[in-house]
Amino acid sequence: MSGLRDGMLLGMGNPLLDISSVVDNEYLTKNDLGPDNAILAEEKHMHIFKELQETYKAEYIAGGSVQNTLRICQWILNRPNVVTFFGCVGKDKNAEILEENARSDGVNVVYDKCDEATGCCAVLITGKHRSLIAHLAAANHFSKEHVIKNFNYVENAEFYYISGFFLTVSPSSIMMVAEKALESNKVLLMNLSAPFISIFFKDPLMQVMPYIDILFGNESEALTFAKEQDFGTENLKEIGFKMLNLPKENKNRKRVVILTQGHHPVMLFEGETVREFPVVELQECDIVDTNGAGDAFVGGFISQLVQAKSYDDCINTGIIAAREIIKRSGCATGGDFPCL
């Protein structure tokens, strides 16, 4: 494969163990949860983790948005250690499960460790929808010192992928990596991750925005971002161009924006143009759950980007990866990746 080398991609995010159950709509309503949202757990949500385990036959699956993306990327590349992952876990069994999963896909995990429990995420599946409640715990204790101590990985990488979710944890670590990307003309990829990021973490998001070379988001994240930024439009095409044209530090790289919208076409905004890539809708009977579909899309995309493939190839591989993951529970790898 062309140009692959160890550690060329570095990801930073929250390593979480997913606790996934099928529930009914009533359960969502009762707990005041949206069907397709991702939120941070508050005290009032804590009973849900227990209930999923005790009453709803929970499945335990390796999760965390960035770690999912990186595992998918490694699965496709089929050559270990191209990808490094920074995140914080506890010193417990769940951390071992996460590490084992990531390593078996070929991700070189370089975890920060603390005395809290490893984070987890309640995944409430209702039909095609999934509602996520993240209890970050250890993940929230990631420190900038970890980045400083392991700066050789930052130096060595050419691509950086960070979730918007990580803005809730360590904006200063993100800025350190963003500055490095700018200084060395490397590529920073980020994801809007969830609507609440654009609302409650607007300041750190807009601080890093000028450093972002490739920005991912889905339709609800893009709409919320546009509202919060007073774009004055709910038209996704107009929103994409406005995102594209937000101030940018590295003038050597034009920003690219990629908006996904479920089974509707993926939109690629680049320069003066927007192009749409069709998504073939899966049959109802093939859908297991959509948990991790967005992460898998990005994993597929990056697997081609690091091989210097065209954006068309990146997006088409992203679409194939998302489609495959919807047929599986969570972001499960294993077996051969469908033919490219």
**Catalytic residues, which ones?**
295
Beta bridge partners, 135, equal 120
Element (H, E) at 149: helix 144-149
Instruction: Provide the minimum distance between the beta carbon of 88 and ligand 26A in the complex, in angstroms, as a whole number.
Output: 12
Residues of span 160-189 touching ligand 26A by CB under 6 A:
163, 165, 168
Q: What is the DSSP string of 211-269?
A: G-SEEEEEHHHHHHHHHHTT-----HHHHHHHHHTS--S-TTS--EEEEEETTEEEEEE
Contact pattern from residue 290 through residue 309 relative to ligand 26A, giving x for each residue in contact according to CB under 6 A and a dash for the rest: -xx-xx--------------
| Binding characters for ligand 26A, 12-31, by CB under 6 A (x = yes) | -xx-x-x-------------
Residue 72 binds ligand 26A, judged by CB under 6 A = no
Give whichever of 20 and 307 is closer to ligand 26A, judged by the CB atom: 20
Q: How far is the CB of 80 from ligand 26A (least distance, A)?
A: 22
User: CB-hemisphere CA count at 13 Å for 313?
Assistant: 11
- Is residue 97 part of the contact set for ligand 26A (CB under 6 A)? no
CA distance 167 to 190: 11
**Should residue 324 be labelled a site residue for ligand 26A when binding is judged by CB under 6 A?**
no
Q: Are 135 and 49 in contact (CB under 8 A)?
A: yes
Interaction between residue 99 and ligand 26A (CB under 6 A): no
Using CB under 6 A as the binding rule, whether residue 121 contacts ligand 26A is answered as yes
Note the residues at the interface with ligand 26A (CB under 6 A). 13-14, 16, 18, 38, 40, 63-65, 68, 121, 132, 134, 136, 163, 165, 168, 291-292, 294-295, 331
